[in-house]
Amino acid sequence: MLHRDDSSFPVEAFGNALREQAENGKVRRLGVSNWTMERFRTLHEYFTATPHELAVFSNRFSLGEMVTPTWLGCLAMTRDDIGELGDLGVEALAWASLAAGYFAGRSISSWNHPKNEARRDRASHLAKEFGASPATIALAYVLHQPPNVRAAIGTRSIAHLEQAMLARTVELSPAQIAWLENGEAEPSVGP
Protein backbone atom coordinates (compact mmCIF):
# COMPACT_ATOMS: atom_id res chain seq x y z
CA MET A 1 0.00 0.00 0.00
CA LEU A 2 1.37 3.36 -1.00
CA HIS A 3 0.96 5.89 1.79
CA ARG A 4 0.68 9.67 1.37
CA ASP A 5 0.53 10.46 -2.32
CA ASP A 6 2.98 12.90 -3.86
CA SER A 7 1.10 14.72 -6.60
CA SER A 8 4.36 16.00 -8.10
CA PHE A 9 4.82 12.48 -9.53
CA PRO A 10 2.59 11.25 -12.33
CA VAL A 11 0.18 8.50 -11.30
CA GLU A 12 1.68 6.25 -13.97
CA ALA A 13 5.07 6.33 -12.16
CA PHE A 14 3.40 4.88 -9.07
CA GLY A 15 1.52 2.41 -11.26
CA ASN A 16 4.74 1.22 -12.88
CA ALA A 17 6.42 0.74 -9.49
CA LEU A 18 3.44 -1.18 -8.11
CA ARG A 19 3.17 -3.32 -11.25
CA GLU A 20 6.86 -4.21 -11.02
CA GLN A 21 6.42 -5.41 -7.42
CA ALA A 22 3.38 -7.46 -8.40
CA GLU A 23 5.13 -9.01 -11.41
CA ASN A 24 8.10 -9.93 -9.20
CA GLY A 25 5.74 -11.74 -6.83
CA LYS A 26 6.41 -9.32 -3.97
CA VAL A 27 2.75 -8.31 -3.59
CA ARG A 28 -0.59 -9.77 -4.59
CA ARG A 29 -2.97 -6.95 -3.74
CA LEU A 30 -2.26 -3.27 -4.20
CA GLY A 31 -3.64 -0.20 -2.48
CA VAL A 32 -3.17 3.43 -1.57
CA SER A 33 -3.65 5.55 1.52
CA ASN A 34 -4.09 9.32 1.75
CA TRP A 35 -4.77 9.76 -1.93
CA THR A 36 -7.45 11.92 -3.49
CA MET A 37 -10.24 10.07 -5.23
CA GLU A 38 -9.30 11.82 -8.48
CA ARG A 39 -5.76 10.40 -8.48
CA PHE A 40 -7.05 7.04 -7.26
CA ARG A 41 -9.45 6.89 -10.23
CA THR A 42 -6.53 7.51 -12.59
CA LEU A 43 -4.49 4.76 -10.92
CA HIS A 44 -7.46 2.40 -11.00
CA GLU A 45 -7.88 3.03 -14.73
CA TYR A 46 -4.16 2.32 -15.18
CA PHE A 47 -4.63 -1.12 -13.59
CA THR A 48 -7.91 -1.93 -15.34
CA ALA A 49 -6.01 -3.29 -18.35
CA THR A 50 -3.65 -5.44 -16.27
CA PRO A 51 -4.06 -8.67 -14.30
CA HIS A 52 -3.00 -6.85 -11.11
CA GLU A 53 -5.64 -5.84 -8.62
CA LEU A 54 -5.82 -2.35 -7.14
CA ALA A 55 -7.88 -3.56 -4.21
CA VAL A 56 -7.67 -1.13 -1.28
CA PHE A 57 -8.21 2.58 -0.69
CA SER A 58 -7.48 3.85 2.81
CA ASN A 59 -8.32 7.31 4.09
CA ARG A 60 -9.85 8.46 7.35
CA PHE A 61 -13.52 7.68 7.92
CA SER A 62 -15.57 7.79 11.10
CA LEU A 63 -18.84 9.03 12.55
CA GLY A 64 -17.03 12.34 13.01
CA GLU A 65 -16.09 14.46 10.03
CA MET A 66 -12.51 15.72 9.99
CA VAL A 67 -12.71 19.54 10.02
CA THR A 68 -8.98 20.25 9.77
CA PRO A 69 -6.28 17.86 8.59
CA THR A 70 -4.08 16.45 11.34
CA TRP A 71 -1.13 17.06 9.02
CA LEU A 72 -0.70 18.46 5.52
CA GLY A 73 -2.11 15.93 3.08
CA CYS A 74 -4.19 14.01 5.63
CA LEU A 75 -7.37 13.02 3.78
CA ALA A 76 -10.76 11.58 4.69
CA MET A 77 -13.31 9.52 2.76
CA THR A 78 -16.92 10.45 2.33
CA ARG A 79 -19.88 8.10 2.14
CA ASP A 80 -20.05 8.92 -1.59
CA ASP A 81 -16.40 7.86 -1.96
CA ILE A 82 -17.19 4.58 -0.19
CA GLY A 83 -20.07 3.95 -2.60
CA GLU A 84 -17.88 4.64 -5.62
CA LEU A 85 -15.16 2.36 -4.26
CA GLY A 86 -17.73 -0.38 -3.77
CA ASP A 87 -18.86 0.03 -7.38
CA LEU A 88 -15.23 -0.45 -8.44
CA GLY A 89 -14.87 -3.57 -6.27
CA VAL A 90 -12.37 -1.83 -3.99
CA GLU A 91 -12.20 -2.22 -0.21
CA ALA A 92 -12.30 0.98 1.82
CA LEU A 93 -9.98 0.67 4.81
CA ALA A 94 -11.26 3.30 7.23
CA TRP A 95 -8.46 4.33 9.53
CA ALA A 96 -9.00 6.59 12.55
CA SER A 97 -12.42 4.95 12.84
CA LEU A 98 -12.79 6.52 16.29
CA ALA A 99 -11.66 9.94 15.01
CA ALA A 100 -8.26 9.52 16.69
CA GLY A 101 -9.92 9.04 20.06
CA TYR A 102 -12.47 11.83 19.77
CA PHE A 103 -15.30 9.33 20.39
CA ALA A 104 -13.36 7.94 23.35
CA GLY A 105 -13.58 11.38 24.97
CA ARG A 106 -10.38 13.02 23.76
CA SER A 107 -10.39 16.64 22.60
CA ILE A 108 -8.92 16.52 19.10
CA SER A 109 -8.60 19.75 17.12
CA SER A 110 -9.12 17.91 13.81
CA TRP A 111 -12.63 16.96 14.98
CA ASN A 112 -13.56 19.72 17.44
CA HIS A 113 -16.68 21.14 15.84
CA PRO A 114 -20.26 21.59 17.07
CA LYS A 115 -21.56 19.10 14.49
CA ASN A 116 -19.14 16.43 15.77
CA GLU A 117 -19.89 17.31 19.39
CA ALA A 118 -23.55 16.64 18.66
CA ARG A 119 -22.65 13.32 17.05
CA ARG A 120 -20.54 12.37 20.07
CA ASP A 121 -23.45 13.29 22.37
CA ARG A 122 -25.80 11.10 20.33
CA ALA A 123 -23.26 8.24 20.42
CA SER A 124 -23.11 8.66 24.21
CA HIS A 125 -26.91 8.54 24.41
CA LEU A 126 -27.11 5.32 22.35
CA ALA A 127 -24.19 3.86 24.31
CA LYS A 128 -26.20 4.10 27.52
CA GLU A 129 -29.13 2.31 25.89
CA PHE A 130 -26.86 -0.45 24.55
CA GLY A 131 -24.81 -0.71 27.74
CA ALA A 132 -21.69 0.18 25.78
CA SER A 133 -19.22 3.05 25.42
CA PRO A 134 -19.55 5.94 22.94
CA ALA A 135 -16.43 4.58 21.21
CA THR A 136 -18.17 1.23 20.75
CA ILE A 137 -21.16 2.94 19.13
CA ALA A 138 -18.90 5.08 16.89
CA LEU A 139 -17.05 1.97 15.73
CA ALA A 140 -20.34 0.11 15.22
CA TYR A 141 -21.37 3.01 12.96
CA VAL A 142 -18.31 2.36 10.75
CA LEU A 143 -19.02 -1.37 10.76
CA HIS A 144 -22.56 -0.67 9.53
CA GLN A 145 -21.34 0.94 6.32
CA PRO A 146 -21.47 -0.93 2.99
CA PRO A 147 -19.76 -4.35 2.94
CA ASN A 148 -16.60 -3.04 1.24
CA VAL A 149 -15.71 -0.99 4.36
CA ARG A 150 -13.16 -2.30 6.85
CA ALA A 151 -12.42 -0.46 10.10
CA ALA A 152 -8.86 0.05 11.28
CA ILE A 153 -8.42 0.85 14.94
CA GLY A 154 -5.57 1.21 17.38
CA THR A 155 -5.51 0.92 21.14
CA ARG A 156 -3.11 0.87 24.03
CA SER A 157 -5.28 -1.03 26.48
CA ILE A 158 -7.12 -4.32 26.78
CA ALA A 159 -10.23 -2.45 28.00
CA HIS A 160 -10.35 -0.36 24.84
CA LEU A 161 -9.78 -3.44 22.70
CA GLU A 162 -12.73 -5.11 24.45
CA GLN A 163 -14.89 -2.04 23.72
CA ALA A 164 -13.86 -2.25 20.08
CA MET A 165 -14.64 -5.95 19.87
CA LEU A 166 -18.08 -5.30 21.38
CA ALA A 167 -18.86 -3.08 18.38
CA ARG A 168 -19.20 -6.23 16.24
CA THR A 169 -22.24 -7.25 18.32
CA VAL A 170 -24.04 -3.87 18.25
CA GLU A 171 -26.86 -3.94 15.71
CA LEU A 172 -27.71 -0.40 14.59
CA SER A 173 -30.90 0.18 12.64
CA PRO A 174 -30.93 2.49 9.61
CA ALA A 175 -32.88 4.98 11.76
CA GLN A 176 -30.19 4.86 14.45
CA ILE A 177 -27.45 5.38 11.87
CA ALA A 178 -29.30 8.38 10.43
CA TRP A 179 -29.87 9.74 13.93
CA LEU A 180 -26.17 9.39 14.78
CA GLU A 181 -25.30 11.30 11.62
CA ASN A 182 -27.86 14.11 11.68
CA GLY A 183 -30.01 13.88 14.80
CA GLU A 184 -33.30 13.37 13.00
CA ALA A 185 -36.06 11.42 14.80
CA GLU A 186 -34.41 9.83 17.83
CA PRO A 187 -34.77 6.05 17.50
CA SER A 188 -35.10 3.55 20.29
CA VAL A 189 -32.96 0.49 20.89
CA GLY A 190 -34.54 -2.84 20.12
CA PRO A 191 -36.94 -4.20 17.52
Note the pLDDT of residue 189.
Answer: 62
Q: 83-122: per-residue pLDDT in tens?
A: 999 999 999 999 988 898 899 888 889 999 999 999 999 9
Average pLDDT over residues 151-157: 85
- Which has the closest alpha carbon to 42: 76, 86, 10? 10
**Number of CB atoms found within 10 A of residue 171's CB:** 12
Confidence label for 160 from pLDDT (cuts 50, 70 and 90): confident
The CA-based angle 108-93-106, given to 5 degrees, is: 15
Query: What pTM was estimated for this model as a whole?
Result: 0.89
Q: Give, as one character, the DSSP assignment of residue 20.
A: H
Please state, in angstroms and rounded to a whole number, the distance separating the CA atoms of residues 51 and 138.
37
Average pLDDT, the chain: 90
Note the pLDDT of residue 148.
Answer: 95
